């Protein structure tokens, strides 16, 4: 083989992959900013992917997803949001209030689809629920708005006069308002409320030690992404110390929690996937109203109730949407 032919052959072989790569279509990248961790939110992430598939988007085929996880350390959210903006993702999906606030602070141009438990207007994410008029919209789970309802449901199960505990994450922007609502509900029920705080795994253990010392008769777990990710730890501690608890999602009940009152998180995350897909197809975020859950669900674990020596009142059982035997 002549030298010129050899160089041409080698040069053509080397150039071929580059040409092929250049011809491949560029797929949009979704930046997913999560407040918890991927293991704790695995069911919700799968529901989000289903929401994308509803509109023909499949991860690894015609979209890519870049995940960033705060793992309950919400102070990390602003830096992770800035990183996604630097990478010029097509859409930022913000799971949890601190993630949404961080994303909104990082960009005013990249579309943001949030999933939060608090009021998006009060948080400065949108101008109005009906017409966001900005670069952010999504779904309000209403988990925090149920802060006054959950103590009332727990009140039906625990002894009269019993002290009620309230577990909150101090790094969540919704905590001050949630605490006020829970306090007001406890006073209306004639109960004393003991608030304990936790934002790390170790602090959850410490919080339960404080609840035991306070001799609480029941516990309300505030709505927080970190708590949902740590649901096994929380429900295990509640069972170990014999504390009846009401939780902010049915995922707690599925792993042994006594009861929950909330919207369906899988349904909510599927809606987030739908909205993300619509934006990728050209919908304007400013024109997409903030969604609200269509149904609130009461879930009860009868096995846990029996272990705690509790009898669920017939009136409460009658309104339960899910009962685990």
Backbone angles phi and psi of 263, in degrees to 5: -80, 170
Among 141-150, 156-165, 171-180, 226-235, the least confident range = 141-150
Query: Which neighbouring-strand residues pair with 95?
Result: 34, 115
Higher local confidence (pLDDT), 55 or 171: 55
Tell me: the pLDDT tens digits for 90-105? 999 999 899 999 999 9
| Whole-Å CA distances, 138 to 96, 128, 145 | 11, 12, 16
Instruction: pLDDT band for 3, please (50, 70, 90 cuts).
Output: very low
Query: Which neighbouring-strand residues pair with 166?
Result: 195, 220
pLDDT score at 98:
92
Percent of the chain surpassing pLDDT 90: 70
Higher local confidence (pLDDT), 257 or 223: 257
| Predicted confidence (pLDDT) at residue 7 exceeds the cutoff of 50 | no
Tell me: the pLDDT tens digits for 129-161? 999 999 999 999 876 667 778 998 999 888 777
| Predicted confidence (pLDDT) at residue 54 exceeds the cutoff of 80 | yes
| Predicted confidence (pLDDT) at residue 304 exceeds the cutoff of 90 | yes
pLDDT score at 24:
57
Instruction: pLDDT band for 25, please (50, 70, 90 cuts).
Output: low
Residues 6+ apart with CB under 8 A from 214: 163, 165, 194
Among 40-44, 141-145, 236-240, 284-288, the least confident range = 141-145
| Predicted confidence (pLDDT) at residue 71 exceeds the cutoff of 80 | yes
Higher local confidence (pLDDT), 108 or 2: 108
* Ordered domains of the chain (ranges, CATH): 29-142+264-294 (3.40.50.2300), 145-263+297-324 (3.40.50.2300)
| Predicted confidence (pLDDT) at residue 11 exceeds the cutoff of 50 | no
pLDDT score at 128:
95
pTM: 0.83
- Average pLDDT of the residues of the chain: 89
Task: Please give the average per-residue pLDDT across 228-246, as a whole number.
Answer: 95
Give the torsion sign (CA, 314, 318, 324, 325).
Answer: positive
Task: Please give the average per-residue pLDDT across 238-264, as a whole number.
Answer: 94
């Amino acid at each position: 083989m002549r030298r010129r032919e050899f160089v041409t052959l080698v040069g053509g072989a080397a150039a071929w992959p580059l040409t092929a790569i250049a011809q491949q279509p560029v797929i949009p990248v979704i930046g997913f900013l999560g407040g918890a961790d991927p293991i704790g939110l695995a069911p919700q992430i799968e529901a989000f992917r289903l929401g994308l598939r509803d509109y023909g988007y499949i991860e690894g085929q015609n979209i890519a997803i870049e995940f960033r996880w705060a793992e309950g350390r919400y102070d990390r959210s602003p830096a992770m949001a800035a990183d996604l903006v630097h990478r010029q993702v097509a859409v930022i999906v913000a799971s949890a209030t601190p993630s949404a606030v961080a994303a909104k602070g990082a960009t005013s141009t990249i579309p943001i689809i949030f999933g939060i438990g608090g009021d998006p207007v009060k948080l400065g994410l949108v101008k109005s629920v009906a017409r966001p008029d900005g670069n952010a919209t999504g779904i309000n789970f209403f988990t925090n708005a149920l802060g006054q309802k959950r103590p009332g449901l727990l009140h039906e199960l625990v002894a009269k006069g019993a002290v009620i505990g309230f577990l909150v994450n101090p790094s969540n922007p919704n905590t001050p308002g949630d605490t006020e609502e829970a306090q007001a509900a406890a006073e209306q029920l004639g109960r004393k409320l003991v608030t304990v705080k936790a934002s790390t795994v170790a602090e959850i253990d410490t919080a339960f030690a404080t609840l035991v010392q306070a001799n609480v008769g029941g516990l309300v777990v505030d709505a927080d992404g970190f708590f949902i990710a740590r649901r096994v730890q929380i429900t295990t501690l509640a069972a170990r110390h014999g504390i009846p608890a009401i939780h902010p999602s049915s995922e707690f009940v599925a792993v042994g929690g006594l009861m929950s009152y909330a919207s369906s998180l899988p349904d909510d995350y599927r809606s987030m996937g739908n909205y993300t897909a619509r934006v990728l197809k050209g919908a304007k975020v400013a024109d997409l109203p903030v969604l609200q859950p269509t149904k609130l669900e009461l879930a009860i674990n009868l096995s846990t109730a029996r272990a705690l020596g509790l009898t669920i009142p017939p009136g409460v059982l009658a309104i339960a949407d899910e009962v685990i035997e």
